[in-house]
């Protein structure tokens, strides 16, 4: 991979994830999105063929080679999709008190019954269980049920139509998060060399463990928290995952809307404590699907995620199918940079600072943050093989970039999701002195530090031992 130097520098610490789709399907548009500020490209396997995703991945890797900057690719698996069947004569009108039976039949629905081809739901529900259809637009309450049907009454809503999604709040369904389609998609994505796999429909820690076994270290695993049951096991799920996504769409369906903001903050806090990258997603700039500017509320929503200390914020339909994909990325970039220059932002980051663990590596990493602040260093430099040293530095949420030097292109790509990390894939070094020389040269070439500025450098000796950070040094940058 050739390197282009300072042109690849980002002037913000929060990362941007953008979804590719029909509106961003060409090399020219992918390049434009990258230049506007995208750090991670998301491939949504709920849509598109393997051929589509494979072609887009080749475009991204070609761009990576041309720019000399590692770019992360995330494969977002669809997960189980629970839907009612079709109706014989089109949508039906319903209202409070309307009774409708759900059953396993594949016959077209009527005004009094419709198929729900998911025996797992009937196995888990009881009288009194609420079912939410069409993102909660229709609420059904189960009056009686068996292993093959459920008699329900409409609590709220006005219309039911074909193939609408069903949510079962408050119930853990006996379902694996990996359907046969997901397993095929996962095998394809791993063979293509994606960097992150996002797991949908996580309900319990065992779901994460199952995906980990299948991935077998070939990509980093990101758990999407979109089910209330997952929140009950938050600490364990975060511990088992490499990263976390706050998927607010389904969370907002299955629990009261007023509960989502504090849960978002709780998830971000827990992920930061564990040193795991966390993304805030769903409807962040939704109006920009069809408009060149966001609403003020959407701008505030993005800003709130940045103030909360999220590693990344994500665009979905805005870049996958919207009319203004580049403008959406540019807007997100501007909002993040504006927040990060607010003195209140730094106050919040420092006030929410997690305590270091009682290890030499954490002690050195915490000290690097403090030293960088004290001497107004241009950057903190980490030298890593696995990425663990760099992630601990990102956990500190320093006010300056984290220049990560790694000989592993896979590590460099994965770390593109982490807060403040400017990852550089470079050849290995044999001693600390050589590493210092390389760090100062790359920091200067990439526009991270100017002649006469200082760097705070951390590393582990002997080299190549993951998590063995035990050295801190201050180095001056001198122009060649």
Task: Transcribe 134-203 into DSSP letters.
Answer: TTTTEEEEEEEE-SSEEEEEEEE-SEE-TT-BEE-TT---S--S--HHHHHHHHHHHHHT-SEEEEPS--
Segment holding 256, helix H or strand E: none
pLDDT score at 163: 95
Which tens digits make up the pLDDT trace of 264-286?
A: 999 999 999 999 999 999 999 99
Which tens digits make up the pLDDT trace of 200-224?
A: 999 999 999 999 999 999 999 999 9
pLDDT score at 354: 83
* Residue 5: pLDDT over 70: no
Kindly name the residue from 101, 224, 272, 395 that is annotated as catalytic. 224
High-pLDDT (> 90) share of the chain, %: 87
Q: What is the mean pLDDT of residues 105-130?
A: 96
- Name the token pair of 397: 């949420």
Kindly name the residue from 14, 282, 411, 440 that is annotated as catalytic. 282
Residues ≥6 apart with Cβ < 8 Å to 180: none
Question: What pTM, to 2 d.p., does this model score?
Answer: 0.94
Question: Counting Cβ atoms within 10 Å, is residue 468 exposed (0-12), middle (13-18) or buried (19+)?
Answer: middle
Clarify whether 265 is annotated catalytic. no
Clarify whether 61 is annotated catalytic. no
* Residue 4: pLDDT over 70: no
| Number of alpha carbons in the 13 Å side-chain half-sphere of residue 357 | 12
Q: Cα separation of 27 and 69, whole Å?
A: 16
Kindly name the residue from 10, 12, 15, 42 that is annotated as catalytic. 42
- Name the token pair of 179: 């359907």
Chain centroid, CA 295 distance in Å:
23
Confidence class for position 359, pLDDT limits 50, 70, 90: confident
* Residue 6: pLDDT over 50: no
Q: Cα separation of 479 and 475, whole Å?
A: 13
Confidence class for position 468, pLDDT limits 50, 70, 90: confident
128 touches 142 (CB < 8 A): yes
Kindly name the residue from 83, 137, 181, 204 that is annotated as catalytic. 83
64 touches 58 (CB < 8 A): no
Q: Which domains does the chain have, with CATH numbers?
A: 5-79+177-339 (3.20.20.60), 92-167 (2.40.33.10), 360-476 (3.40.1380.20)
Confidence class for position 432, pLDDT limits 50, 70, 90: confident
pLDDT score at 3: 62
Task: Tell me the average pLDDT of the chain.
Answer: 94
Residues ≥6 apart with Cβ < 8 Å to 445: 3, 5, 6
Clarify whether 282 is annotated catalytic. yes
The total of other beta-carbon atoms located within 10 Å of residue 117's CB is 14
Could you give the angle at the alpha carbon of 413 between the alpha carbons of 415 and 220, nearest 5°? 70
């Amino acid at each position: 991979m050739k390197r282009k130097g300072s042109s690849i520098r980002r002037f913000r610490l929060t990362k941007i994830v953008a979804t590719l789709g029909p509106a961003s399907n060409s090399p020219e548009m992918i390049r434009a999105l990258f230049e506007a500020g995208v750090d991670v490209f998301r491939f949504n396997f709920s849509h598109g063929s393997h051929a589509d995703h494979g072609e887009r991945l080749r475009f991204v890797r070609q761009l990576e080679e041309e720019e000399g900057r590692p770019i992360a690719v995330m494969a977002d698996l669809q997960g189980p999709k629970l839907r009612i069947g079709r109706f014989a004569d089109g949508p039906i009108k319903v209202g409070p008190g309307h009774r409708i039976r759900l059953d396993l039949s594949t016959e077209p629905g009527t005004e009094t019954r419709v198929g729900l081809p998911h025996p797992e739901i009937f196995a888990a529900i009881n009288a009194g269980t609420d079912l939410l259809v069409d993102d909660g637009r229709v609420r059904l309450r189960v009056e009686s049920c068996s292993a093959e049907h459920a008699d329900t009454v409409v609590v709220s809503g006005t219309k039911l139509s074909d193939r609408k999604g069903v949510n079962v709040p408050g119930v853990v369904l006996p379902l694996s998060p990996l359907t046969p389609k997901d397993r095929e998609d996962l095998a394809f994505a791993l063979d293509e060399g994606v960097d992150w796999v996002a797991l949908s429909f996580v309900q319990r820690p065992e779901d994460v463990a199952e995906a980990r076994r299948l991935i077998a270290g070939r990509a980093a695993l990101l758990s999407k928290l979109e089910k209330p049951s997952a929140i009950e096991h938050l600490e364990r799920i975060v511990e088992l995952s490499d990263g976390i996504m706050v998927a607010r769409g389904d969370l907002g369906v299955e629990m009261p809307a007023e509960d989502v903001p504090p849960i978002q903050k709780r998830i971000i806090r827990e992920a930061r404590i564990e040193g795991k990258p966390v993304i805030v997603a769903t409807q962040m700039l939704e109006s920009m699907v069809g408009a060149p500017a966001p609403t003020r509320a959407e701008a505030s929503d993005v800003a709130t995620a940045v103030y909360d200390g999220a590693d990344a914020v994500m665009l979905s339909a805005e870049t996958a199918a919207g009319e203004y994909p580049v403008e959406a990325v540019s807007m997100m970039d501007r909002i993040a940079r504006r927040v990060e220059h607010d003195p209140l932002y730094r106050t919040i980051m420092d006030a929410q600072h997690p305590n270091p663990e009682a290890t030499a590596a954490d002690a050195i990493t915490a000290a690097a943050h403090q030293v960088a602040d004290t001497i107004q260093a241009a950057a903190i430099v980490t030298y890593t093989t696995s990425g663990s040293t760099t992630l601990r530095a990102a956990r500190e949420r320093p006010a300056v970039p984290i220049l990560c030097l790694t000989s592993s292109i896979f590590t460099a790509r994965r770390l593109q999701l982490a807060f403040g990390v400017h990852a550089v894939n470079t050849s290995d070094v044999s001693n600390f002195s050589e590493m210092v020389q390389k760090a100062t040269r790359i920091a200067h070439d990439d526009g991270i530090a100017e002649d006469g500025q200082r760097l705070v450098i951390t590393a582990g000796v002997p080299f190549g031992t993951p998590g063995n950070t035990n050295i801190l040094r201050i180095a001056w940058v001198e122009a060649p």
